[in-house]
Amino acid sequence: MEFETALRVLDRTTSETISGRFPGRLDRMRSLLRHLGDPQESLQAVHVGGSAGKGSTATMCAAILQAAGYKVGLHTKPHLHSVIERARIDGQPIAPQRFGDIFDRLAPVIEVMRGEQWGPPSYFELMVALSFLYFAEEKVDVAVIEVGVGGTLDGTNVITPLVSIITNVGTDHKDVLGDTVEEIAKDKAGIIKDGVPVVTAATQDSVLQIITEAAQAHGAPLSIVARAASVESSLKELRYAQEVVVRTERQRYAFTLPLIGEFQVHNAATALVALEAIADAFTVQPVHVTRGFADLSLPGRTEYYPSHPSVLFDVAHNVEKAQALGGALQRHFPGRRMVFVVAIAHEKDFAGVVGAWRGLPAHYIFTTFEASHRRARHAQTLVNVAREAGMASRAVDDPIEAFNLARRMAAAGDLVVVTGSTFLVGGLRRWFLDNATIADHAIV
């Protein structure tokens, strides 16, 4: 099957958001994988869930393991520019033709499942299955698998991993996972398996109690990052990277983290505690951590371009990520004037996201995006929320027009921040790289 044909088939499938409301979707995922020969059974895996930071933590785990000499599969979501980003081996996305070839085997299964009890698989489930097939066929040593939404009924929750990670628990996806952080924590704790070590960076007492009780019920050893590791970090001279020292009972790790935001330091510590939990299967030394982080790149995650004006792209589509972005901006760009370009999906807590940036020296341009499975919140609605909070703002519906206006408004020493929805960040990042003249481009 041609890659473009596979994309057309995918676009006709059920979205993750809709399938998230369907209680039988894990049965549907198991049925899909049975039709494909259960490729996940051959994988040794690291399972990464949480409300924020799970994609970064998964990528960090994969980078360190790769630096240690292992062949590493990495499944993350959502993708920024192309669906091939969701299945990577040693940092490289699956080739479009290989994607089409594997999807050619998925297509008839979709039709068979239309007549089965649980119905056809969702977009996300197909991407998980494709990644499992790809990793199994390529005989990766280890696969790092990011949870999609929640945990208990997520399509990835069919694996028995070497370690389960719950980065943190916030209030994203309340429409699917529960009305309170405690209800959401119970759902995310659903990835805990019998006897499988669990690592969490969660800090709320009520959340830790739920995760602890779930771990005890499964006989799963639990490591709480705040207790298992001490973390120190300082800014490098350019302020766009961080010098980090993480100490655990086993080891001291000192490395340069080429990322913005103290939250990324804690993601790194989480990855290290998790990899120590599987040291019997996969040995990692401090030198591998240094090498793995040396060239680490997280497109669209506090990704900085020192152009004129400078631009930062960051997917911050929930309250926790918006708060983390705000903290990173204050830490790395103190006192610097900013112009935000923001679009937020309709189902998100838009008031909470916008409110997380209150007090920053910034002007806000709210815009929209177009996506087949997502609807953007009206730009004027976001303006109304921002103005009630005393934040200077305006609405510009066209994203490129909004971005160009922000760049014109910003002085040479200002910072343009493109954030909110993945669809906005991905679209404007691609436009920027294709069209903007960047004399001194760096992702640090």
Transcribe 131-148 into DSSP letters: HHHHHHHTT-SEEEEE-S
Handedness of CA 310, 316, 319, 321 (dihedral sign): negative
Q: What is the token pair recorded at 141?
A: 């040593």
pLDDT at 437: 57
The two tokens of residue 291 are: 């090498």
Instruction: Break the chain into its structural domains and give their ranges.
Output: 3-294, 303-435
pLDDT, position 237: 72
Stretch 179-207: mean pLDDT: 94
At residue 51 the predicted structure's pLDDT band, cuts being 50, 70 and 90, is confident
- DSSP class of residue 374 equals B
Residue 311 has pLDDT above 90, yes or no: yes
CA-based torsion, 100, 105, 108, 114: positive or negative:
negative
The pLDDT assigned to 373 comes to 74
pLDDT of residue 420: 96
Q: Which residues contact 233 (CB under 8 A, 6 or more apart)?
A: 242, 243, 244, 245, 257, 262, 265
Measured CA to CA, the distance from residue 79 to residue 250 in angstroms comes to 35
Q: Using CB atoms within 10 A of its CB, is residue 101 exposed (0-12), middle (13-18) or buried (19+)?
A: middle
Strand spans (E) along 295-426: 303-305, 310-315, 338-343, 362-366, 393-395, 415-420
> Is 359:337 a contact under the CB 8 Å cutoff?
no
For residue 442, pLDDT over 80 is answered with: no
Q: Which two tokens stand for residue 252?
A: 């001291």
DSSP secondary structure code for residue 349 in this structure: -
Answer whether 0.85 is exceeded by the pTM.
Answer: yes
How confident is the model over 168-172, as a mean pLDDT? 76
Distance separating alpha carbons of residues 70 and 165, to the nearest angstrom? 20
Q: Which amino acid is at 138?
A: E
- Find where tokens 């209680």 sit: 23
User: What is the secondary structure of 253-303 as a DSSP string?
Assistant: EEEEE-S--HHHHHHHHHHHHHHHHTTTTS---HHHHHHHHHT---TTSSE
303-435 fold: Protein-Tyrosine Phosphatase; Chain A (3.90.190)
CA–CA separation, 50 vs 76, rounded Å?
13
Confidence of residue 252 (pLDDT cuts 50, 70, 90): very high
Spatial separation of the C-alpha atoms in residues 300 and 316, rounded to whole Å: 9
The pLDDT of 228-239, averaged and rounded, is: 87
Ramachandran quadrant class, 435 (left: phi over 0; alpha: psi -120 to 50; beta: rest)? alpha
Token couple for 95: 């080739």
Instruction: Work out the average pLDDT over 225-238.
Output: 90
Degrees, nearest 5: CA angle 227-232-233 = 140
What is the band of 112 on the pLDDT scale with cuts at 50, 70, 90? very high
The string over 244-283, giving b where at least 16 C-beta atoms fall within 10 Å of a residue's C-beta and e elsewhere, is bebbbeeeebebebbbbbbbbbbbbbbbbbbbbbbeeebe
Cβ–Cβ contacts within 10 Å for residue 122, how many?
Answer: 25
If you average pLDDT over residues 366-371, what whole number do you get? 94
CB 396 within 8 A of CB 424: no
As a whole number, mean pLDDT of residues 359-384 equals 93
pLDDT band at 153 (very low <50, low <70, confident <90, very high): very high
pLDDT at 241 over 50: yes
End-to-end, the C-alpha distance of the chain in Å comes to: 38
Q: Is 376 exposed, middle or buried (0-12, 13-18, 19+ CB in 10 A)?
A: buried
What is the residue whose two structure tokens read 């779930």?
214
Kindly state which CATH superfamily the domain 3-294 is placed in: Mur-like, catalytic domain (3.40.1190.10)
pLDDT band at 272 (very low <50, low <70, confident <90, very high): very high
168 half-sphere exposure, CB direction, 13 A CA radius: 23
